[in-house]
Amino acid sequence: MSLLTVDRLSVAFPGHTAVREASFSIAAGETLALVGESGCGKSITAFSVMRLLPSNARIASGRILLDGIDLLSLSEPEMREVRGAKVSLIQQEPMTSLNPVLSIGLQITEVIRRHERLSRKAARARAIELLDLVRIPDAHRRIDDHPHNLSGGMRQRVMIAMAVACRPKLLIADEPTTALDVTTQAQVLDLLDDLRRRLGMAVLLITHDLGVVAQWADRIAVMYAGRIVEEAGIEPFFAQPMHPYSRGLLGARVDVDADEHYSTNRLSEIPGSVGSAAGEAGCSFAPRCPVAESACRQAVPSLLALQDDRAVACPVTIAHEGGPHGAARR
């Protein structure tokens, strides 16, 4: 049974719908990468799981099950017991995500004491262990530092320490390394992966970096214009992306191993922009799609299982691959 199941989630803002009928699930201990370009609704999906949407956003329909409990039916105080204890969030911007006036030790001990009955002293000892765990050197000394004494990578480690302090079952990492330089990025992702194994967490990794996905995720869900258009395991996905959008995304990468360089090879691109299909019926990728047929502009394609653990929302691809696998999955 999966740890988190998001079932036909739709999130509406006044005037537009950010997430449409998104469904995916994460098994315990697994890393699912949620991928898509800016504004496709991946962060909103993640914030829906935490129930921390902006005040003008509204969950229009759907269910979010964590360990069989529908998070959308919980009251706000009940939800506060879930946040930080069962589901944690790591944000994009480590420079501004820590409270600048409190020492990092205090911030970590407060989290522990928020969810667990521990004395101040015991919580402090746990905080030092956690700083060790996220590989901050000299943890017993750094614990009294304030955020402005730390570099971006260090601050992201502290954020991770706070997020895993109460051993959550699910860690949502919202582009955790976008603000960091490349070497620090690899260290932080290594650390996340290591913690996932050691603490048995599942990770929902939100990113737009396919390199990150290839190296650190188990499965991938590709989002386009608020819908999930393809869901697959990492190896089959990179070996053979199914949805035309996924193929476009992978085609737009520079493959260093194949000795490609932007000065010698022309980079392929996906024509048009995400807004192209605004207000039109049918598949929202159709205006940019190289294989679109007239049927694509009639009805919204649903996500259909193509093989085991592989689903794609493109009737053209499915017809080409020889029809859906078994009954329609969702």
Partner 1 sequence: MALQVEPGVGTPVSVDTGNRAAPRKRRRVRAFLRNPTFVAGAAILAFFVFLALFADFLCPGDPLDMVAPPVLWPGQDLAFPLGTDSLGRDVLAGLVHGSRASLLVGISAAAIGLAIGMFVGALAGFFGGWIDTALTRLIELFQTTPTFILVIVIVAIGEPNLQTIALAIGLASWPTVARLVRAQFRSLRESDFVMAARSLGYSRWRIILQEILPNALPPVIVAASVMIANAILTEAGLSFLNMRDPDIVSWGGMIGAGRDQLRTAWFLTALPGATIALAVLSLNLVGDGLNEILNPRTEP
* φ and ψ at residue 72, rounded to 5 degrees: -75, -15
Quick note: the x/- pattern for partner 1 over 13-52, rule CB under 8 A, is: -------------------------------------x-x
Candidates 144-152, 213-221, 222-230, 305-313; binding stretch for partner 1 (CB under 8 A)? 144-152
96 forms part of the interface with partner 1 (CB under 8 A) = yes
Residue 59: CB minimum distance to partner 1, A: 17
Of the candidates 101, 239, 256, 258, which one interacts with partner 1 according to CB under 8 A?
101
- Choice from 60, 63, 65, 114 touching partner 1 (CB under 8 A): 114
Distance of alpha carbon 28 from alpha carbon 129, whole angstroms: 24
d(CA 160, CA 164): 6
Q: Do 301 and 314 contact (CB within 8 A), yes or no?
A: yes
Task: Select from 19, 130, 154, 223 the one that contacts partner 1 (CB under 8 A).
Answer: 154
Helix, strand or coil for residue 209? Answer: coil
**Which helix (DSSP H) or strand (DSSP E) does residue 284 occupy?**
none
The position carrying tokens 């989290």 is 111
Segment contacting partner 1 by CB under 8 A, of 15-23, 61-69, 146-154, 249-257: 146-154
Site residue total, partner 1 (CB under 8 A): 45
Handedness of CA 52, 204, 90, 77 (dihedral sign): positive
Residue 153 CB, nearest distance to partner 1 (Å)? Answer: 5
Q: Say how many Å lie between the first and final Cα of the chain, rounded.
A: 17
Task: Report, in Å, the least distance between residue 100 CB and partner 1.
Answer: 7
Per-residue binding letters, 76-95, with partner 1 (x by CB under 8 A)? ----xxxxxx--xx-x-x--
Rounded to whole angstroms, the Cα distance separating 93 from 178 reads 8
